[in-house]
Structure 1
C-alpha cells in the first residue's frame, strides 16, 4: 500500500487556471459567441483561383477551414459562353483556409464591424 502525503508545495495549488489562461479563455468565448451569431447566415467565400462559393455558414474549425451548406459555386465563364458566370450546386463543402482569398457575411453594419476583430 502506498503512503500518500502532502508536501508543502501542494498546499498553494488551486484548481483554478492561471490568470493568463482565464483571460485567453474569456477572449476565446467572445469569438465563439460572435461566430454563433453567424451560423446559418449567407456567406460568400472567394478562393485563390477566382471562384466564389455562396452558401449557409455551418462551422469553422481551429485551422480556419469553413464549412458551407447548400453551397453554389460561381466561376467566370469562357469567352464563348453568353453568360458571364457559370454556376453549379454543390451542397456541403469545406473551403480550406489556405485557399480562401475573401469572406463576406450577410449581416448588418454593426455585425460586420464586430466581425473585423475575428
Structure 2
C-alpha cells in the first residue's frame, strides 16, 4: 500500500484518505516530479531524493538519493549516510513516503494515498 504524507516545515503532518480515478492519479503523481521525497523502508533505513517516477505496481525511483541508517540497533544511535544516485525502491519494502510541499498543494497530494495497491485507489 502506498501511503503519502505531505508536510510543510513547521506544519503538522497530514494523512487523510481520498479516492480518485486512475487518470487523475497520474496527473497528481506528475505534480510530485523532482520534489524532495523521504521514503522509509521496512528494515529501518530511509532514503531522501528527488522523485523521478512511479510505476503501476507502486515502485518508486529517486534521483540523487541519500541512504540513512542507524549504525547500531540501540536507540538513540548515530545515523550513517551514503550517496546512492538513482535508486528503485520496491513497493513491497516501502513503509512510508513523505513529500515536502506548500500548504496549497497539500490538499491535492493527500489524495494519492492508496495508489499502487493492486493498481486501484483506496
Distance in 2 (CA, whole Å) between partners of 1:39 and 1:93 is: 15
Does 2:78 correspond to 1:84?
yes
Task: State the partner residue of 1:104.
Answer: 98
Task: State the partner residue of 1:43.
Answer: 37
Alpha-carbon displacement from aligned partner over 1:7-43 (angstroms, at most 9, x marks no partner): xxxxxxxxxxxxxxxxxxx922211111111100000
How many residues get paired?
Answer: 91
Alpha-carbon displacement from aligned partner over 1:52-80 (angstroms, at most 9, x marks no partner): 0000000000000000010000001237x
With normalisation by structure 2, the TM-score equals: 0.68
Say which is worse superposed, 104-113 or 29-38, in terms of deviation. 104-113
RMSD, matched Cα: 2.0
With normalisation by structure 1, the TM-score equals: 0.70
Gap regions ≥5 residues in structure 1 = 1-25
Task: State the partner residue of 2:69.
Answer: 75
The structure richer in helix per residue is 1
Structure having the higher Rg: 1
Gap regions ≥5 residues in structure 2 = 1-19, 113-122
Does 2:25 correspond to 1:31?
yes
Does 2:46 correspond to 1:52?
yes
Return the structure number with greater relative CO, CA threshold 8 A, min gap 6. 2
* Cα offset, 1:108, TM superposition: 1.6
